[in-house]
Amino acid sequence: MASINPESPPMVPELQKDSDVDRKKPANYMAVLNVVLRILLFSTTLISVVALVTGKQTETIAIPFPPYRVSVSAQFTDSSAFIYSSAALSVACLYSIITTVLSFFALMKRVGKLTKLMSSAVFVIDVVLLGIVASATGAEAELGYIGLKGNSKMGSHKICNVYGSYCRHIGVSVLSSSFASMVLCFLVVLRVKSLSRKNRQ
């Protein structure tokens, strides 16, 4: 008569453990992606702000009256749109630092999971910042295009043929803030996907 070994481990708990690991993989993957995107948001907004505020250039231009030549500077404070853009991107940069630290600590289990209220607040701020950064990028791009091509209907002349370095700084800022807008868009989509996954479970 065959005897049953009472010390042999059952198979059902092992299957349950494997299923628990499989269930945790998507959550960990999305948490890592969230941290990476927030680091990218910090990088793009920082580059955009630095490029914008350091884009000062002084050139000597001809005028039709004495002294006939005068030094004129071009800098971001000359335009309210650039001032607004620098302020919006600075706020986004500071916000990305805070949320990156929180997300990283949550990922490394140094703190508990974000509360439902805090997670909802981060999502709302992400959406609001997406609109603000996108509008700042549009304002920057419009002035940059006028500086590059001019606008005869508004009586605006192109200046990039004179202030080349200044315009290159504006171009880098516009490009970097465009990437920041896309990163914020990805963060919003990631949050929506995470919510939809939880609702299905």
Query: pLDDT by residue (tens digit) across 16-35?
Result: 444 444 444 555 788 889 99
45-81: burial string, b at 16+ Cβ within 10 Å, e else: bbbbbbbbbebebeeeeeeeeeeeeeeeebbbeebeb
* 174 domain residue, yes or no: yes
* 16 domain residue, yes or no: no
More confident residue, 68 or 35: 35
Helix/strand/coil for 151: strand
pLDDT of residue 110: 54
Instruction: State the residue range of the domain holding 127.
Output: 25-200
User: How far apart, in whole angstroms, are the C-alpha atoms of residue 143 and residue 164?
Assistant: 14
The length of the chain is 201
pLDDT band at 156 (very low <50, low <70, confident <90, very high): confident
* 2 domain residue, yes or no: no
* 4 domain residue, yes or no: no
* Number of structural domains in the chain: 1
Please say if the pLDDT value at position 58 is more than 60. yes
* 3 domain residue, yes or no: no
pLDDT of residue 97: 95
For the chain, give the mean pLDDT.
Answer: 82
* 1 domain residue, yes or no: no
